[in-house]
A and B are shown apart, each in its own frame.
Chain A
């Protein structure tokens, strides 16, 4: 199995979605 291909095809998109989830739950909230 080609590790590089696995990284760009699966690991990178999963990491970006994880960053979006973290940003949503833990990102800076505006005061209300």
Chain B
């Protein structure tokens, strides 16, 4: 076995070991399995929230697209980093206080309580949206893993890489639940920083140092325009679209649920600082990695350059064991996202569907509930692997030819569906159940239709902007036409700081 493979095997074994360790506590009840008992520390929440949101999209997509299209891809970064800073500092704290007081375990649990969803309609629609987008999202991560293993080890099979990544992520998530997912996220955050800081530094050094590399980049011409052209894809739409990606952060439950898990709401201030520094290093690290690759190589020489820039650079510049560690960084990005998403789908099935809708809110025995949780993680990981396997053959050359575009649809769909109701629920007294339902449905439909109708390709505007706008419009209009919940004042009051330093641990 060569050094690269050794590094990867050690990394994967480490992840499963964390799952085994966390399994001791995770089986106690659903609150432990899905939320770590609301006892997570600030730096764990900070790193976990950030790396759960940064997937193969960043390490394959942003690196590869910067390599091909240049600096304009950097417009994708500031929108979500700024939005997540706001979430940590303000919205996250309000959400944590409310969910602690009402014992909400899942994101959908929160929406159902806040909007007074007595018949379970909102829950069912939300669960369907979660299943549609997250299964595709996890599938995209598995596909990225397959590309990596095939590239690195020369595997021909499409299935082998998918199965390997699915098996490891599935194993530690089933064993250790939220605690394992959060702790592996911390280790994975360290690997990702290692990859996205070391790789550009070494890349620029090999390219003759920063000054020489900068001149090389200025001379490089990519179509359309130079590497330094800022207005993305030849239009202002590219810049606005890039910044608009940040609108989706509040609507991605696998990120938002992290804020709910912190031990004390006040500690989200420290999480904001740590998380933002990490987010900036990862985001701009990916851009600089793509630029370093461009100073070294011609995109025309590397096959499938939009997906393979990171892989190519790692194996070309580093000895096998170090290259293996960099591959582990890529796997970390893939797995830190997939594991959080698996838990969200599983929690939607167990807590929201089985317990909330079919069980009419009656409590399940802890052992039965956790078994449901574990079995549903297993079922979802198998479904995502199958989807990834089927689409690996079908997607070549289509709109989803890159991991980037595949993930963007899911990210935007969740953002447009859940983002407006979540933000309104935290700050707007007048928002209603009907408004939230209209927003969920229109956000999902708007996103899918924008891509499927070809409007995205024609206008260069990412799906998040029109879908988010439509979803917000319907949220406001329907809310104003329907009766506000009687408990609105009480609910908003539950989000305000308490006099006891917010030591709300909540139950469940």
- List residues of chain A with CB under 8 Å of any chain B CB: 2, 4-5, 8-9, 12-13, 16-17, 19-21, 23-24, 27, 29-32
* Known A-B contacts A24-B272, A30-B266; A8 and B71 likewise in contact (beta carbons under 8 Å): yes
Are B273 and A24 in contact (CB-based, < 8 A)?
yes
Q: Which residues of A contact B74 (CB under 8 A)?
A: 8-9, 12
Q: Which residues of A contact B218 (CB under 8 A)?
A: 2
Are B502 and A9 in contact (CB-based, < 8 A)?
no
Are A31 and B81 in contact (CB-based, < 8 A)?
no
| Contact with A30, one of B272, B283, B288, B502 (Cβ below 8 angstroms) | B502
Q: How far is the CB of A28 from chain B (nearest CB, A)?
A: 8
B221 within 8 A of partner (CB): no
Q: In the complex the two chains form, what is the Cα distance from A27 to B91 in whole Å?
A: 13
Q: How far is the CB of B356 from chain A (nearest CB, A)?
A: 30
Hey, what's the 0/1 contact readout for B248-287 against A, CB within 8 Å counting as 1?
0000000000000000011001101100110010011001
Between-chain CB contacts (< 8 Å), 29 pairs: A2-B228, A4-B228, A5-B71, A5-B228, A8-B71, A8-B74, A9-B71, A9-B288, A12-B74, A13-B77, A13-B78, A13-B284, A16-B81, A16-B276, A16-B280, A17-B280, A19-B85, A19-B276, A23-B85, A23-B273, A24-B269, A24-B270, A24-B272, A27-B269, A29-B269, A30-B501, A31-B497, A32-B266, A32-B500
B82 within 8 A of partner (CB): yes
Are A30 and B230 in contact (CB-based, < 8 A)?
no
Q: How far is the CB of B233 from chain A (nearest CB, A)?
A: 15
Q: How far is the CB of A4 from chain B (nearest CB, A)?
A: 4
Give chain A's interface secondary structure class. Answer: helix
Besides A13-B77, A13-B284, A32-B501, 6 other CB < 8 A contacts? A2-B228, A9-B284, A16-B280, A17-B277, A23-B272, A27-B269
Give chain B's interface secondary structure class. Answer: helix
Q: Which residues of A contact B71 (CB under 8 A)?
A: 4-5, 8-9
Shortest beta-carbon contacts, A-B, top 10: A32-B501, A20-B276, A30-B497, A4-B230, A24-B273, A2-B228, A5-B228, A30-B266, A8-B74, A13-B280
Q: Which residues of A contact B78 (CB under 8 A)?
A: 8, 12-13, 16
Q: Which residues of B contact A19 (CB under 8 A)?
A: 82, 85, 276
Q: Which residues of B contact A24 (CB under 8 A)?
A: 269-270, 272-273
B38 within 8 A of partner (CB): no
Q: Which of B400-457 contact A (CB under 8 A)?
A: none
Q: Which residues of B contact A2 (CB under 8 A)?
A: 218, 228
B499 within 8 A of partner (CB): yes
Q: Which residues of B contact A31 (CB under 8 A)?
A: 497-499, 501
Are A20 and B501 in contact (CB-based, < 8 A)?
no
Q: Which residues of A contact B500 (CB under 8 A)?
A: 32
Q: How far is the CB of A17 from chain B (nearest CB, A)?
A: 6
Are A5 and B230 in contact (CB-based, < 8 A)?
yes
Q: In the complex the two chains form, what is the Cα distance from A5 to B266 in whole Å?
A: 37
Q: A2: nearest residue on chain B (CB-CB)?
A: B228
Q: Which residues of B contact A17 (CB under 8 A)?
A: 276-277, 280
B172 within 8 A of partner (CB): no
Q: How far is the CB of B101 from chain A (nearest CB, A)?
A: 14
Q: In the complex the two chains form, what is the Cα distance from A16 to B280 in whole Å?
A: 8
Are B497 and A20 in contact (CB-based, < 8 A)?
no
B33 within 8 A of partner (CB): no
Are A20 and B277 in contact (CB-based, < 8 A)?
yes
Q: In the complex the two chains form, what is the Cα distance from A28 to B272 in whole Å?
A: 13
Are A30 and B265 in contact (CB-based, < 8 A)?
yes
Q: B266: nearest residue on chain A (CB-CB)?
A: A30
Q: How far is the CB of A19 from chain B (nearest CB, A)?
A: 6
Q: Which residues of A contact B283 (CB under 8 A)?
A: 13
- Highest count of chain B CB atoms <10 Å: which of A9, A13, A19, A31: A13
| Contact with A20, one of B85, B230, B499 (Cβ below 8 angstroms) | B85
Q: Which residues of A contact B277 (CB under 8 A)?
A: 17, 20
Are B272 and A8 in contact (CB-based, < 8 A)?
no
Q: Which residues of A contact B501 (CB under 8 A)?
A: 30-32
Q: In the complex the two chains form, what is the Cα distance from A30 to B497 in whole Å?
A: 6
Q: Which residues of A contact B213 (CB under 8 A)?
A: none
Q: How far is the CB of B201 from chain A (nearest CB, A)?
A: 15
Hey, what's the 0/1 contact readout for B82-95 against A, CB within 8 Å counting as 1?
10010001000100
Q: Which residues of B contact A32 (CB under 8 A)?
A: 266, 500-502
Q: In the complex the two chains form, what is the Cα distance from A27 to B251 in whole Å?
A: 24
B75 within 8 A of partner (CB): yes
Q: Which residues of A contact B499 (CB under 8 A)?
A: 31
Q: In the complex the two chains form, what is the Cα distance from A29 to B272 in whole Å?
A: 13
Are A8 and B269 in contact (CB-based, < 8 A)?
no
Q: In the complex the two chains form, what is the Cα distance from A23 to B89 in whole Å?
A: 7
Hey, what's the 0/1 contact readout for B484-508 against A, CB within 8 Å counting as 1?
0000000000000111111000000
Q: In the complex the two chains form, what is the Cα distance from A5 to B272 in whole Å?
A: 27
Hey, what's the 0/1 contact readout for B120-137 against A, CB within 8 Å counting as 1?
000000000000000000
